[in-house]
Amino acid sequence: MKEDLLHFVWKNHFLSVHNLSTTENEKVEILDTGMHNSHEGPDFLNAKINIDGTLWIGHIEIHVNSSDWIKHQHDSDENYKNVILHIVYRNDKNLKHLNIPTLELKDYISQSVLDKYYTLMQSKHPIPCTPQFSKVSSLHKNAWWTSCLANRWERKTQEWIALEKGETKNWMEIIYHQLAGNFGFKYNYSPFLQLAQSLPLEILQKHQSNLNQMEALLFGQSGLLPEDYNDDYIQSLVKEYHFLRRKYGLKAMDYREWKFMRLRPSNFPTVRIAQLASFLHYYLDRLPEIMHMKSWKEFQKLLPIGTSTYWENHYHFHKVTIKRKKKLLGKSALQSLIINTFAPALYLYKKNYNSSNYPESNIHILESLPKEDNHIIKKWEEIGQEVQNAFDSQALIECYNEFCKNKKCTSCSIGLQILKL
């Protein structure tokens, strides 16, 4: 038994409401279950309960066992002084001294609901509701996918704000930091983010027109720029960086932050830094315009994003490759940048500055992109869920990671629907 089931039962009136009574045999009539509280304090706020003919308005606290009240130290917490009813599944400890009525639910919850709940909790499927999934209507599922995507953007952008120390005023700085971080993709996101944070946007803006200076700043700050050189390219970067470092008081990262092992050469951070330098050289002043693009067709105009010629026959400094090849940022990489940078950034921008229908254009962007192809999406497709585009795949990834993996079925709209069937 988990507390979230009791929350579900109480919130959705899944009780045999006739003849409800407290552990002291006081008659209970539910007039309003109250507002579900996801923050600190009692679980439901401002409920209306008639207890033995007296109307009470206040808060509800829910536990699996009545002894949890003491275990959670609510007896010494001022937030719980206005609790009018303590709801428990099992009354394992008499708390009469608290003068708070206790309602024990174990004899009032429908066995059918309990059976469905335990079926979900004991499921061996990666997606717990697999056997019942087809019973939920497509209309209900689609509404939930939209909610999941909004939750994904909300969580992601709140993480961004936390990284900016709570500030959301400088939109260009936020986009720049996250764009840089996402150039590192899965394995080098953190060092790329650290690189951007070590190099203020206003400095890059001053040198945007000069690709060599952009590369000098980025490679120099990365800690990967060698001090010894035997070719003109490295020499030019070292000289530029030494000058700019002194001018702006910059401090380079530790080169050991970067991950090369088990990466394909095309994903080496050296190549990605060169691509980032090129992208910022051409598009830094256009980032607000890019953020508002509405379709994959518009974004494709940014391709091809390459590197300076040095990197056409290098993956590392000093190490020349036999074959010369342009290191272009591919379509899948650009799609990843749209999904993980520009779409959430537009969500955050519209949420703070344009509250009406702010997710709409973000959804259009993802609907124009092909679906992602990974093990999570395969699990959904195996149980019959159609995945047409990146909107679908992002929503399904969120649902799987936040709900299915943790068996938070009573917090999932599909799980709730199954319990109601």
- pLDDT tens-digit profile of 370-393? 999 999 999 999 999 999 999 999
Q: Are 69 and 185 within one domain?
A: no
The residue out of 345, 364, 383 marking a domain boundary is: 364
Q: Are 52 and 195 within one domain?
A: no
In angstroms, the CA 14 to CA 419 distance is: 10
- State the pLDDT at residue 260: 96
Q: Are 171 and 234 within one domain?
A: yes
How many structural domains is the chain composed of? 2
Q: Are 266 and 181 within one domain?
A: yes
Q: Are 361 and 367 in contact (CB under 8 A)?
A: no
- State the pLDDT at residue 350: 82
Q: Are 59 and 169 within one domain?
A: no
Q: With helix as H, strand as E and coil as C, how does the chain read?
A: CCHHHHHHHHHCCCECCCCCECCCCCEEEEEECCEECCCCCCCEEEEEEEECCEEEEEEEEEEEECCHHHHCCHHHCHHHCCEEEEEEEECCCCCHHHCCCEEECCCCECHHHHHHHHHHHCCCCCCCCHHHHHHCCHHHHHHHHHHHHHHHHHHHHHHHHHHCCCCCCCHHHHHHHHHHHHHCCCCCHHHHHHHHHHCCHHHHHHCCCCHHHHHHHHHHHHCCCCCCCCCHHHHHHHHHHHHHHHHHCCCCCCHHHCCCCCCCHHHCHHHHHHHHHHHHHHHHHHHHHHHCCCCHHHHHHHCCECCCHHHHHEEECCEECCCCCCCCECHHHHHHHHHHHHHHHHHHHHHHHCCCCCCHHHHHHHHCCCCCCCHHHHHHHHCCCCCCCHHHHHHHHHHHHHHHCCCCHHHCHHHHHHHHC
Residue 354 pLDDT class (50, 70, 90 cuts): low
The residue out of 343, 364, 385 marking a domain boundary is: 364
Assess if residue 286 is contained within a domain: yes
Assess if residue 29 is contained within a domain: yes
- State the pLDDT at residue 17: 67
Assess if residue 37 is contained within a domain: yes
Arithmetic mean of pLDDT, 11-18: 80
pLDDT tens digits, one per residue of 32-81:
999 999 889 999 999 999 999 999 999 999 999 999 999 999 999 999 99
More confident residue, 360 or 403: 403
Assess if residue 63 is contained within a domain: yes
In angstroms, the CA 278 to CA 154 distance is: 30
- State the pLDDT at residue 356: 55
CB-based burial of residue 5 (10 Å sphere; 0-12 exposed, 13-18 middle, 19+ buried)? buried
Q: Are 96 and 158 within one domain?
A: no
| Average pLDDT for the chain | 93
Domain that holds residue 14: 3-109
- State the pLDDT at residue 292: 83
Assess if residue 105 is contained within a domain: yes
Q: Is the dihedral of CA 374, 389, 386, 149 positive or negative?
A: positive
Q: Are 226 and 324 within one domain?
A: yes
Residue 358 pLDDT class (50, 70, 90 cuts): low
- Judge if pTM exceeds 0.75: yes
The residue out of 317, 340, 364 marking a domain boundary is: 364
Q: Are 204 and 198 in contact (CB under 8 A)?
A: no
- State the pLDDT at residue 27: 95
- Report the DSSP pairing between strands 319-320 and 35-36: unpaired
More confident residue, 291 or 417: 417
Q: Are 307 and 231 within one domain?
A: yes
pLDDT tens digits, one per residue of 95-123:
999 999 999 999 898 888 889 999 999 99
Degrees to nearest 5, angle at CA 59 with 55 and 65: 110
- State the pLDDT at residue 70: 95
Residue 361 pLDDT class (50, 70, 90 cuts): low
Assess if residue 294 is contained within a domain: yes
Res 273 pLDDT > 90 = yes
The region of weakest confidence among 13-27, 112-126, 210-224, 277-291 is 13-27
Residue 1 pLDDT class (50, 70, 90 cuts): confident
Res 230 pLDDT > 90 = no
Q: Are 184 and 302 within one domain?
A: yes
Q: Are 241 and 346 within one domain?
A: yes
Q: Are 1 and 62 in contact (CB under 8 A)?
A: no
Q: Are 187 and 322 within one domain?
A: yes
Q: Are 102 and 215 within one domain?
A: no
- State the pLDDT at residue 282: 96
- State the pLDDT at residue 316: 94
